[in-house]
Amino acid sequence: MNVAVDSCFIEPGREMPDRFCSASTWELADTQWPSHEQRTLTCTRVSAETHDVRTFVFSARDGRLFSFEPGQFITVSAEIAGKEVSRCYTISSPPTRPHTLSITVKRTPGGVMSNWLHENMREGVELKAFGPSGVFTPSSGPAAKLLYLSAGSGVTPLMSMTRAALDLGLNRDIVFIHSARTPEDIIFRNELACFCALSDKLRVVHVCEAPGNEPDRSGPVGRLGLELLSQHVPDYRDREVFICGPGGYMDACRKMLEEGGHEPSRYHQESFNFAETTEYAEGPGAEPSAEASGRIGYTVQLARAGRTFTMDGSQTVLVAARKAGVPLPSSCSQGICGTCKTKVLDGSVDMKHNGGIRPREIDKGMRLMCCSRPTSDLILDL
């Protein structure tokens, strides 16, 4: 089924129940899954969303129900080529369907976990995951009128929020603008079309960079800008805005809304940058960064990669490495997910994490590079 959704229309809204504004709406007392607790999930279904995006549906091996807030992510781990690999993925299913939990993953060139999932995950295969985390949820900006902006696989947290609102019969006035490369790249296209048919309060607009194989498609072609936004959502200044997508897209949206006079306190964006969810690879060979402004300079040596760069103690190792053209594995950049966990072979750091590493890992010399600042020269097991 291929349904044009660009013209679905809603009328102004009714009252929104208070319960949607509270995190406790989603908390099922006996089913909490703490973010530091790793559990085993069993895949129950795999479905293709587009040519390079699949949804993986899981149930808990122990049969427990899932409890989370729409917009949160989990950190999945798998042993790939003899190494433990962890990545964050936003939950695309809603908490209103607690028997299963879904992630929707785009296959990225060179992406270790995304390619592994696409190639290996099928019904019955198990995966380990740490519990839900993240503050990009409706609880952070409760409102009756919403504007959801997403690009690429950034659609997933907003889809969880939309599904939850629909499941609960909430009459929230939602305009959902999703940007994709071509119509073939639109994720959840048919489901959103069905939602529009069910709810006169939801309007979906798909903005495609190119018409792809639908030259006669009537929806907007190009990139989302202030003119297009004003045309499709003239009351955008009255709406609570939730944005998720690649870093460049979120930056452009923030600037666009600022220019348009949208109140910044009503703007919420996913805190980790999907575009920066990279695997470790040899960088393009940028020269080591210079020591900054007279502060103490430290040398950071990547033992296995044979690379060295310098930095001062005011930056995290992750940020300094990026500036030096050395991309390290990372995802949340907040000390939550554990993706950037690295063994410090020599030297010391000051680490302020948010639960992404266990005491026994710290005892073994592991540290999170996204929230560690050097206090001496370092040699890292990278």
Which residues make up the interface to ligand FES (CB under 6 A)? 330-333, 335-340, 356, 368, 370
Minimum distance, C-beta of residue 332 to ligand FES, in the bound complex (Å): 4
Nearer to ligand FES, 144 or 340 (CB): 340
Minimum distance, C-beta of residue 131 to ligand FES, in the bound complex (Å): 14
Q: Do 346 and 375 contact (CB within 8 A), yes or no?
A: no
Nearer to ligand FES, 171 or 269 (CB): 269
Nearer to ligand FES, 179 or 269 (CB): 269
| Distance of alpha carbon 153 from alpha carbon 130, whole angstroms | 21
Minimum distance, C-beta of residue 35 to ligand FES, in the bound complex (Å): 11
Minimum distance, C-beta of residue 330 to ligand FES, in the bound complex (Å): 4
Nearer to ligand FES, 41 or 368 (CB): 368
Minimum distance, C-beta of residue 272 to ligand FES, in the bound complex (Å): 7
Nearer to ligand FES, 171 or 330 (CB): 330
| Token pair of 293 as six digits | 């402004």
Minimum distance, C-beta of residue 370 to ligand FES, in the bound complex (Å): 3
Nearer to ligand FES, 170 or 321 (CB): 321
